[in-house]
Amino acid sequence: MTHKLFDTTPKVKNRKLNVLPSNPEVVQEDKAVGPGRFPSWLHRKLPKGSEVWKTGQVLNQNRLHTVCEEAKCPNLLECWSKKTATFLVMGKECTRSCGFCDIDFSKTPKPLAADEPQRVAESVLQLGLKHVVITMVARDDLPDGGAQHLADVIEEIRKQVKDVTIEVLTSDFTGSTTSLDILLKAKPEIFNHNIETVRAMTPRVRHKATYDRTLSVLKYVRKQGDPTLLVKSGIMVGLGETEAEVFETIHDLKAVGCDIITIGQYLQPNRNKLLVKAFVTPDQFKRYEEYGYSLGIKNMYCGPFIRSSYNANEVLQQTNVGR
């Protein structure tokens, strides 16, 4: 009788399968791309050069987090090769656990770091940035949701860096106008708060957030913010929404005063997050873009790899040219 020294039987864990939708490029059986394969427009070459390493080194030296890393952004290498990054402030633990986001969840995140504003400003200076994007984890554990800390980051950057434009990508601050006023007083050039998805899918996609609260936040910022302030929001597609629902969301964003709308393909960051229901074609993105422009949106930035802060400086320049 023989005995096995090791059990080579595969261990199957009870986890959600990472199932991908069918490839919309498949039109003929003899040229079919098997299920679970990505379409050609979601493939691209990796950037060359040493700037990726240099960007990472600056961030590590200053003990900073980026949404590029924490949210597994597919554009990380491209952006870092251009010496740009989206700073993630107030830690890397979020008090919400949204169905699409890979950032760690915690009911009791670590206390705010008092020296973080200075470290962010120093990184901006070292990287030579002319346009800075600062995003945040939701901090529902703080009385002001972290608004004052974010305002302090903006103020410190202004002190250390001349002729810089600043874009903030914020939570909804649970709808607190007091928190919004604190941030508006710091005068960022762009205020970005993402609606993320269509009305019907919001309860599943965005934990603790509501569709109408997001609209009210954007409307308040448009009304109370500086006249030169640009208001921005973003939508993910491929979660099972219809074209009509996306059109409705674009219309709603226009109604509350959005100047810039970004629309990109949702990609599942890990097995525990919402599944991708469809690969949205470039033609469909073009239809969303055209519809937004027909309503008078100043800048519609739409495509498979588009994310809220992707090419943010270029988007700002394009929008200002069209004003």
158 belongs to a structural domain: yes
pLDDT at position 234, please? 96
311 belongs to a structural domain: yes
- pLDDT tens digit sequence for 105-114: 899 999 999 9
22 belongs to a structural domain: no
pLDDT at position 6, please? 43
37 belongs to a structural domain: no
For the record, the structure tokens of 312 come out as 């943010």
pLDDT averaged over every residue in the chain: 84
pLDDT at position 103, please? 80
Q: What distance in Å separates the CA atoms of residue 129 and residue 138, rounded to the nearest whole number?
A: 25
Domain of 250, CATH number, reads 3.20.20.70
Q: 309 versus 49: which is more confidently predicted? A: 309
pLDDT beyond 70 at 73: no
Q: 14 versus 166: which is more confidently predicted? A: 166
Q: What distance in Å separates the CA atoms of residue 130 and residue 91, rounded to the nearest whole number?
A: 24
235 belongs to a structural domain: yes
Q: What distance in Å separates the CA atoms of residue 31 and residue 34, rounded to the nearest whole number?
A: 9
314 belongs to a structural domain: yes
Q: Residues 36-49: what's their mean pLDDT? A: 70
Full residue range of the structural domain in which residue 64 is found: 46-321
34 belongs to a structural domain: no
pLDDT beyond 60 at 69: no
Q: Which residues pair with 4 in a beta bridge?
A: none
**Structurally, how many domains does the chain consist of?**
1
Alpha-helical regions (H) of the chain: 51-61, 67-70, 76-81, 116-127, 147-160, 177-185, 202-205, 211-224, 243-255, 282-295, 312-321
Pairing mode of beta strands 93-94, 65-66: unpaired
Query: Is 314 exposed, middle or buried (CB count within 10 Å of its CB: 0-12, 13-18, 19+)?
Result: exposed
pLDDT at position 64, please? 64
Q: Closest Cα to residue 52, out of 69, 27, 35, 37? A: 69
Q: Residues 39-44: what's their mean pLDDT? A: 78
pLDDT at position 47, please? 62
Q: Is the dihedral of CA 297, 230, 118, 160 positive or negative?
A: positive
pLDDT at position 317, please? 75
Q: What distance in Å separates the CA atoms of residue 170 and residue 135, rounded to the nearest whole number?
A: 6
Residue 312: pLDDT band with limits 50, 70, 90: low
pLDDT beyond 60 at 3: no
The contacts of residue 172 (CB under 8 Å, 6+ apart) are 193, 209, 213, 214, 217
33 belongs to a structural domain: no
pLDDT beyond 60 at 80: no
pLDDT beyond 50 at 132: yes
Amino acid (1-letter code) at residue 239: L
Point out the least confidently predicted range of 7-11, 51-55, 230-234.
7-11
pLDDT at position 35, please? 45
146: left (phi over 0), alpha (psi -120 to 50) or beta: left
pLDDT beyond 70 at 152: yes
Q: Give phi and psi for 211, each to the nearest 5.
A: -60, -50
- List the Cα angle 58/150/218 in 5-degree steps: 120
Residue 8: pLDDT band with limits 50, 70, 90: very low
pLDDT beyond 90 at 181: yes
pLDDT at position 244, please? 98
